[in-house]
Structure 1
């Protein structure tokens, strides 16, 4: 009995280290490597006159790299080499962040942002499988939300640091974030280790995931629509706030609020998932996000923008956590492939979203219309999620029973 408890304690200690490592990897790859561009972009536009078209291309090429990695990472047979690939992509992500400051060539920036997208997408897919394997093996799925909180932490951190790092030059922001990333990576480098594999007995006759595998198709559609709807707000929120009368001063703060709200949100949605399953929380999160996207348009003041930022930040990583965990539960025998497909659909939506919003912006000269259409896309995702839950054999799986 004592030996069993000792082994259990060692297992939990190992999964805790993997969890910490995953949290920091998402902080570096997503919060800094991927989303810091949103905060640095206005500085580059003002200091080196980066055009809106060029800014859009840089965002699109990063999304393309993310999409390529999302499909590729999950379908490569890596076995126990996931940790090595994670380390390689972590180094690439950090280097491509710092190298943005070394050159002023737009062509080189395009290449760097593409590689950054590949590395961040690979880290997201591989680290998700990595951490979920460790936590689920030790029956600690309630801590999944902590892992995804790394994205919000990185957004909030970069949002706070960039105004200080870019005081002298836009280059300082990229170099400073690279230095912070190196520091973080050095702390968790030894935690990037493959979870110990233990055979798990499964009762094939009592496997609700198999009975509801058709729900996976609906999840793919929902997550693709989420990528399309969310990225419009993530791309244009700061720019929209800057052009609202008497609200330009609040534009940087709106993005910081998004990051701060995202940090605890995954923990909250993870708790909801444990109590209610994933269908109801995912539907509720999509509704709240749609409200958060459109609220700054209806209330273009500090209250509407701040509350909209809270709702947006408080849901976008929660939706990712709920959708990906649900997909893995529905496809337990091919978890990495399921995560890759989900992230691929999401990435496709992220590419379509800014392009469509750009056409709308050119035609209407209004960010408000683009944000309203993004909210409509999210409402469509809600409808699809409800239809999926109705047509599946069970309407609200409790994740603890599924995993």
Structure 2
């Protein structure tokens, strides 16, 4: 009897491929499925009649989906299931982006935003956990800085996409559909270069070193404050600029500046963290973000708006990458699960903040109150970081 050919071994990926695939996954699941909403919001309000309150609620629903995904990810132990759900999130991101441009229907938009939140959780938590776990198994330094470039690149893609399609006078609906087709370019490498999961035997040799409950609570509260600061800017940056009479039409440029600042910032914050430690680097990032939030509240000029956008882009990426990398390194047995648990506070803030701010803006006709409240929440986060730094000095 002839010998049957043995099945080919799975092709080994190069670390560059895994990181590039993770970046493309973030661009697709977060940059397009989520961030495209920000530069398209003024156009949707002008052409589809979307109100400030409805815009805030849609953002809140998106983050409700994100929080639902974080809850699910926090309970997942099976690495293969996490891999399958991440793969599903990649494909679903294209469909929900396409659905946003199907009709000016608030219920369709709400469903799309909720599913988009689930996709964002798949990319940010499951995908990041898979990339980090793969790097750790390969003996590579487990840093997510390069991976999180996908967040800044996603913003750049969404900003350039709106600027380019607006020059063609495409409607809000056609622009959403254009983003869906552009997403195919990111789906292909994200799918082909998905990191493999560890076999059960290999996974069991990783020691389960878990942070203390008190440390996780403090970090979770700090990350709640970071989520509040993130979502206000992520939702309303373009709208804040467009509402100022002298800055009409400049909103996409502010959003592009956010992305351009975010892409290289991951390297800068990594260097700061190496020199001073992650917690002190986070404290600096929070302080700079407070300044960025208050600049457009204190002055209505273009310089203040662009300065706020620049500081936001340069800081939010550092807060996310430093926090998730820190908790992931302290939970090597299942970094994605640890990230998801910490993200619950981040997601809770992202559900409440845009809904409250949208109603407030519609009632007052100004973003100033929402910006001052955001600065106060970020300062609370700074207080929590000072407490964490003090506690670690005592250890």
Aligned to 1:31: 31
Q: How does 1:109-188 map to 2 (within 5 A)?
A: 109-141=109-141, 143-166=143-166, 167-188=169-190
Q: How does 1:1-400 map to 2 (within 5 A)?
A: 14-141=14-141, 143-166=143-166, 167-196=169-198, 198=202, 214-362=214-362, 364-392=364-392
TM-score, with structure 1 as normaliser: 0.87
Measure how far apart 1:331 and its partner are.
Answer: 3.2
Distance 1:201 1:75, change over 3 A: closer
Partners of 2:327 and 2:355 lie apart in 1 by: 28
SS in 2 for 1:192: coil
Measure how far apart 1:327 and its partner are.
Answer: 1.6
Aligned to 1:7: none
Measure how far apart 1:336 and its partner are.
Answer: 2.6
For the aligned residues, what is the CA RMSD?
2.4
Measure how far apart 1:393 and its partner are.
Answer: 5.1
Partners of 1:81 and 1:69 lie apart in 2 by: 13
Measure how far apart 1:23 and its partner are.
Answer: 0.7
Distance 1:394 1:245, change over 3 A: farther
Q: Name which structure has the greater RCO, CA cutoff 8 Å, separation 6+.
A: 2
CA contact (8 A) 2:31 2:153 kept: yes
TM-score, with structure 2 as normaliser: 0.89
Deviation per residue, 1:81-121 (Å, 9 max, x gap): 33322111110111110122223322122112211111221
Measure how far apart 1:76 and its partner are.
Answer: 1.9
Distance 1:66 1:202, change over 3 A: closer
CA contact (8 A) 1:129 1:336 kept: yes
**Structure 1 stretches of 5 or more lacking a match?**
1-9, 396-403
SS in 1 for 2:118: helix
SS in 2 for 1:332: coil
**Structure 2 stretches of 5 or more lacking a match?**
1-10
Distance 1:69 1:158, change over 3 A: same
Distance 1:138 1:87, change over 3 A: same
Partners of 1:39 and 1:279 lie apart in 2 by: 32
Moved over 3 A (4+): 137-143, 195-204, 330-334, 362-365, 392-395
Measure how far apart 1:161 and its partner are.
Answer: 0.9
Deviation per residue, 1:240-297 (Å, 9 max, x gap): 2222241223222111111111111112212322333211111111111111111122
Deviation per residue, 1:312-349 (Å, 9 max, x gap): 00111210111111222333344232211121110100
Higher helix share: 1
Aligned to 1:398: none
Partners of 2:23 and 2:159 lie apart in 1 by: 18
SS in 1 for 2:246: coil
Partners of 1:249 and 1:104 lie apart in 2 by: 23
Number of corresponding residues: 381
